[in-house]
DNA sequence: ATGGCACATGTTATATCGTAACACAAACAC
DNA sequence: GTGTTTGTGTTACGATATAACATGTGCCAT
């Protein structure tokens, strides 16, 4: 009961439930809001959700947004699996929308910096908070 | 009792206490560990610490590390005041050391990306977790 | 087959991080 | 003085995350 090479395939029961909740959500979800969604499926305790999230993050199917204490389903085809890439998130504080990006120039800049500092990153967090283009045009009414 | 144009000058009592605790610490501190440090000075409740931290962050004297839920005194002369620059933190998971950097290449990459996406950032969070050079050489014994 | 192992699960209790709501005091503007 | 802003103090609570312990389930080496 494990393989996971296909997106969403062969997850355990709790992992599937958490994944579905996230995949069905427009924006990021907190662990507790995920729990509320899947209580009806028999999940009762926060720990069950956190454990599933840990695995999903490890698999690269879910990302944690540190500045929100929340989680999103991976939107980026290039994350495919646990390959460590430098991912950036934009988070619109008006509509709550999150966009996930991998940009070569940015990755290069980070890698170069790490080399220069002789710092070995195991994980990078890059989050931009602000206003997305859609909300901006909506405000200019 | 406010001016703050000089580092650390003219902070309120609670702000000074929090600032001193942070300045005297080698690494980042959680709000509650700051509270423990300054209980002896008459600060009793978390809210007093959080309020002081909010102001200190606003002044640019303190930064919040989102991936740690903790705070550090600003190490970077160029942060001088509340000027919004793109700051990056390296966080060593072995020794707990934090380094704060402002790098032009990185700032440019972020700015370019934001322009390209028509995203208007109000705040950026860039944190690299990993192992610092000192801990690496210490491990290669 | 059976005992051992790895891994997922279930459950209770607790730790840690952060804020709402209300009251009061000091500084300042007019 | 009176109103306004800003900092403060206190209680209570909400939100996020983990410790500790017990159970179940598939796998597989002996
Ligand atoms: Zn992704
Ligand atoms: Zn938006
Ligand atoms: Zn700084
Ligand atoms: Zn180190």
CA distance B62 to A69: 20
Which contacts (CB < 8 Å, 24+ apart) does range B41-49 have? B41/B17, B43/B14, B43/B17, B48/B14, B49/B14, B49/B18
Q: Block means of pLDDT (10 residues each) for chain B, length 141 residues? A: 47 96 97 97 98 95 97 82 77 96 92 96 96 93 69
- Chain B: residue nearest A105 by CA? B109
Residue with nearest Cα to nucleotide C17 C1': B69
> Could you tell me which CATH number the domain at A2-140 has?
1.10.10.10
| pLDDT tens digits for range A7-29 | 445 899 999 999 999 999 999 99
Q: Of all nucleotides in the shown strands, which has a C1' nearest the CA of A30?
A: D16
Q: Quick one: which H or E segment has residue A14?
A: helix A13-23
| pLDDT tens digits for range B29-46 | 999 999 999 999 999 999
Q: Using the CB atom, is residue A44 less than 7 Å from strand D?
A: no
Angle between helices A104-117 and B104-117 (to 10 degrees): 160
Question: A92 forms bridges with which residues in the sheet?
Answer: A130
Check whether A108 has a pLDDT greater than 80.
yes
For residue B109, which residues of chain A lie inside 8 Å, CB to CB? Answer: 103, 105-106, 108-109
Question: Which pLDDT score is estimated for B140?
Answer: 80
| pLDDT tens digits for range A70-101 | 999 999 866 665 566 789 999 999 999 999 99
Give the alpha-carbon dihedral of A119, A124, A80, A67, to 10 degrees.
Answer: 170
């Amino acid at each position: 009961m494990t393989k996971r090479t296909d997106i969403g395939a062969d997850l355990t029961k709790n992992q599937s439930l958490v994944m579905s909740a996230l995949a069905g959500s427009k924006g990021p979800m907190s662990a507790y809001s995920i729990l509320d969604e899947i209580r009806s499926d028999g999940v009762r305790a926060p720990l069950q959700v956190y454990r599933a999230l840990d695995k999903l993050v490890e698999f690269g199917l879910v990302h944690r947004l540190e500045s929100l204490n929340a989680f999103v389903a991976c939107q980026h085809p290039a994350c495919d699996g646990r390959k460590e890439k430098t991912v950036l998130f934009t988070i619109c504080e008006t509509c709550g929308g999150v966009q996930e990006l991998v940009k070569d120039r940015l990755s290069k800049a980070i890698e170069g910096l790490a080399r220069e500092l002789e710092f070995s990153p195991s994980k990078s967090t890059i989050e931009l908070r602000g206003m997305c283009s859609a909300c901006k045009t909506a405000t200019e009414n």
